[in-house]
Amino acid sequence: MESAREDIFSFFNDLHSFPELGFAEERTAAKLADALEAGGFTVERNVGGTTGVIGTLKGAAPGPVFALRADMDALPIDEDSGHPFSSKNRGVMHACGHDAHSTIVLFAALLAARAGIAKGTLKVLFQPAEELLTGALAMLKSGRLSDVDEMVGLHLRPIQEARLDEASPALMHGSSYVVNIAVEGRSAHGARPHLGVNAVDAAAAIVNAINAIRVDPRVSHSFKTTSIMAGGKASNIIPDSAKLVVDVRAQTNEVMQEILEKIALAAEYGAKSVGGAAAVESTKGVPAAEYDPALTEVMRLAAEDVLGSSLPPIVSPGGEDFHFFATEGKIKTAYLALGADLEPGLHSEKMRFDPEALIIGTKILCALLARKVL
Ligand SMILES: [Zn+2]
Ligand SMILES: [Zn+2]
């Protein structure tokens, strides 16, 4: 492990210098795939027609398929962090630490391969486009993960959630969705409003109906209309259409499902109440974390192997497309929240963290692999 220190730092610095946006992680993917191949993994590139990479290493004895997953993509941000290896791709920055996740997963896999897999199969997944929230689904659609029994992921945490030398075996992401609603009315002259159906009236009725939705207050949640577009052609024309956007958050998938169903009803009946019509056009988002208790317990033990203690589960208001692997892929999952003294925050152009977190993260995943496949 200690001999890998400098390799880990230099691999990370190189990824950090050349960030790439979702589904365009060509250089990043090639570098990761080459390193896996050199480490003895069978490597599949361009998984599902994307930049995704899967490495596979079979153990001496048969057993379950265990997967490590990291995201590869960066953000459309101009880096201003003062990092000595700041982005050389203008307007693109690793501001969410996906370069750190890729480095940690890669080196944990390489060190495990060097030790030799005793039982089962180790798979390594480098997925594209987490920030677009569509990379994980693309990997599942490829069918190349259908044999995976268990999968773990990780994310660096902002300093307010965890310090360097701290980690939690469960980062409790909530579910977040954006709902687009289309409203249909009927145009008329402003002097004869009774001959039309005002889409603004319908939109207002929908907003009120949405605001009157009630769900279990013990599960934290919120929903709010964040955009209304209607009219504007002329002040004396009754507008015949409107578009609404609703941002929805919920800490569990059950409550999210209930809110989404009630929003669809609020749209339909809100519009009907003024003689119009409305329907949900699209619903896009990510599910909440649903972890496997037994695998999370092994993650806790692995964190404690390295750090001596672990933090309780961390509730995060953010979303992650990793959770599709559990909800859609039916894979048992766990997810490490890794402290890194990261400041001032994720997605900031000034984001920096203590690189020692790369070593700690690699050690924790190595401890996990020692308990699962070595
Ligand atoms: Zn992010
Ligand atoms: Zn991220």
Distance from Cα 172 to the centre of ligand 1, integer Å: 15
The residue among 91, 100, 128, 132 whose CA lies nearest residue 16 is: 100
| Residue pointed to by tokens 């929903």 | 223
Which alpha helices (H) appear in the chain, and where do they start and end?
Answer: 5-17, 26-38, 98-115, 135-141, 199-211, 253-272, 293-307, 324-327, 356-372
What distance in angstroms lies between residue 279's CA and the mean position of ligand 2's atoms?
32
Distance between Cα 334 and ligand 2 center (Å): 16
Neighbours of 63 (CB within 10 A): 16
- Dist. CA 172 → ligand 2 center (Å): 14
CA 363 to chain centroid: 23
Residues of the chain with pLDDT under 50: none
User: Domain 175-286 classified CATH 3.30.70.360?
Assistant: yes
Task: Express each pLDDT in 276-300 by its tens digit.
Answer: 999 999 999 999 999 999 999 999 9
Which ligand has the shortest distance to the CA of 101? Answer: 2
* pLDDT tens by residue, 110-132: 999 999 999 999 999 999 999 99
Cα of 26 vs its chain's centroid, Å: 20
- Domain ranges in the chain are 2-174+289-372, 175-286
Please tell me whether residue 285 adopts helix, strand or coil conformation: strand
Q: How far is the CA of 104 from the centre of ligand 2 (A)?
A: 14
Distance from the alpha carbon of residue 294 to the mean position of ligand 2, in angstroms: 25
pLDDT digits (tens, 9 = 90+) for 328-337: 999 999 999 9
Which pLDDT does position 97 carry in this prediction? 98
Calculate how far, in angstroms, residue 72's C-alpha sits from the geometric centre of ligand 2.
Answer: 9
User: In this structure, which ligand is nearest to the CA of 93?
Assistant: 1
pLDDT of residue 213: 98
Task: State in Å: Cα 357 to ligand 2 middle.
Answer: 15
For residue 318, how far is its CA from the centre of ligand 2 (angstroms)?
9
Distance 347 CA to ligand 1 centre (A): 6
CATH of 2-174+289-372 given 3.40.630.10, 3.40.50.2000, 3.40.640.10, 3.40.50.720: 3.40.630.10
Whole-number Å distance, alpha carbon 217 to ligand 1 midpoint, is 28
- Ligand 2: distance of its center to the CA of 256 in Å? 22
Question: What pLDDT was estimated at residue 318?
Answer: 86
C-alpha distances in Å from residue 349, one per residue of 70, 95, 98, 229, 356: 22, 7, 14, 31, 21
Q: Can you give the pLDDT at residue 373?
A: 87
User: If you measure from the C-alpha of residue 268 to the centroid of ligand 2, how many angstroms do you get, rounded to a whole number?
Assistant: 36
> Residue 269 Cα, ligand 2 centroid: separation in angstroms?
38
Residue 135 Cα, ligand 1 centroid: separation in angstroms?
13
Q: Give 69 Cα–ligand 2 centroid separation in angstroms.
A: 12
Please give the C-alpha separations between residue 134 and each of 140, 248, 319, 323, in angstroms, as whole numbers. Answer: 10, 18, 12, 11
Ligand 2 centroid from CA 7, angstroms: 23
Cα of 257 vs centre of ligand 2, distance in Å, is 24
Ligand 2 centre to CA of 66 (Å) is 22
Task: Name, in order, each residue with C-beta under 8 angstroms of 293's C-beta and a sequence gap of 6 or more.
Answer: none
CA of 328 from ligand 1 middle (Å) equals 21
Contact, 340 vs 158, CB < 8 A?
no
Q: In the chain, what's the furthest Cα-to-Cα distance?
A: 82
